[in-house]
A and B are shown apart, each in its own frame.
Chain A
Amino acid sequence: GAVVSQHPSWVICKSGTSVKIECRSLDFQATTMFWYRQFPKQSLMLMATSNEGSKATYEQGVEKDKFLINHASLTLSTLTVTSAHPEDSSFYICSASDPGGLADQPQHFGDGTRLSIL
């Protein structure tokens, strides 16, 4: 149980394009999803917290207009990197928890999306 699917697993695109990453909870309802960014050999950096039906909460320093997050259903959240540039290249990982937002409920992670901007 508690499977989180992330798609695509790998994407290469030209500078200036927008890229959408999907995160789905397959066997549970995820009221809260989290989006992370991870650089090589580093820890996970939380970008934003996404609650179903409401606006995402972004961490300090994360550009809301650059990283658009939508959590329209209890099983799907999307992250859109708008007008991507080479510095946006990274490993993006989502996680989901149910019930959402409680401190002692496990977060289950997707397998990440490796984004490369040329």
Chain B
Amino acid sequence: GENVEQHPSTLSVQEGDSAVIKCTYSDSASNYFPWYKQELGKGPQLIIDIRSNVGEKKDQRIAVTLNKTAKHFSLHITETQPEDSAVYFCAASKHNQGGKLIFGQGTELSVKP
């Protein structure tokens, strides 16, 4: 079955710097890749997603890139702010799995003021 690996597990940056989180997936049939932000004690919040027919997507300070050949996708956060501090999860799903998401292990991002 699908396996999603996420790195790094922790990431500390200075406010204003960029942060990059990377994920790799094993199943070439996966075609949907969302990113979630989870704050302490809350449920995950969808921040951006990308489908396999697109190589890059951007929403203000957040961007996601997808390399289908290499089977990896990355989250890029620019001009980081302290409120970006949270745990970020990548995930993957494919067409015949009923929408089931396979999650990465998570990255704890800390943005220091």
Chain A contacts to B: CB under 8 angstroms: 4, 6, 32, 34, 42-44, 46, 49, 57, 93, 95, 97, 100-112, 114
Contacts and interface: CB of A to CB of B under 8 A. Distances in A.
The 10 A-B residue pairs with the shortest CB-CB distance in the complex, in nearest-first order: A109-B43, A104-B32, A103-B95, A101-B98, A111-B43, A103-B93, A43-B103, A109-B44, A101-B99, A112-B43
B19 to A, nearest CB: 19
Interface string B98-111: 11110111100000
B99 A103 contact: yes
Contacts of A97: 99
30 contacts: A4-B43, A32-B98, A34-B101, A42-B106, A43-B105, A44-B89, A46-B100, A46-B101, A49-B99, A49-B100, A57-B98, A100-B99, A101-B99, A102-B95, A103-B93, A103-B94, A103-B95, A103-B99, A104-B31, A104-B51, A104-B95, A105-B99, A107-B34, A107-B46, A107-B99, A109-B45, A110-B43, A111-B42, A111-B43, A112-B41
B21 to A, nearest CB: 14
Chain B interface size range: 20 to 34
Interface string B66-107: 000000000000000000000001000111111111011110
